[in-house]
Amino acid sequence: MAVDELDTRILRLLLEQPRTSVREYARILGIARGTLQARLDRLEREGVITGTGPVLSPAALGHPVLAFVHIEVTQGHLDEVGDALAGVPEIVEAFSITGGGDLLTRVVARDNAHLEDVIQKLISLPGVVRTRTEVALRERVPHRLLPLVESVGREAARG
């Protein structure tokens, strides 16, 4: 999908001021509310905007430990293991990957003992051969998309 300069300005506002009204966004951008709404609808329809809910902190919810768990899966069981991972609430993301392992999960836990319990739960899932865990010590670059949006906007402006 082609994202133009106006789209990137809209996305920047959504990222910087997520609780502002559509009417206010239109005023800030100097465009008609209908134009803005049509752009937002298209960006959602085309999968650029995938959600509008709040961003939550697992740490503030009592789960300050963050780990990345690589999971090696018995051949032919990737879908079943992936489905089983969806039933583990401490897994906040899971991806099929190349390289060392078949799945990479982002896991949160209350403490190291709880993390061990979660890993033991993962190891016991049918189709899981082994796991390898890496505990995050400190977040160095928080999840962000604004620099990417700005880069796409610069490219769009260059034509």
Longest Cα–Cα distance of the chain, Å, equals: 57
**Is the pLDDT reported for residue 1 higher than 80?**
no
* Both structure tokens of 54: 């709040």
pLDDT in tens, 42-81: 999 999 999 888 889 999 999 999 999 999 999 999 999 9
Phi, psi of 106 (to 5 degrees): -105, 120
Single pTM value for the model: 0.86
Mean pLDDT for 33-43 is 96
Q: Are 65 and 109 in contact (CB under 8 A)?
A: yes
pLDDT in tens, 112-137: 999 999 999 999 999 999 999 999 99
* Both structure tokens of 1: 């999908």
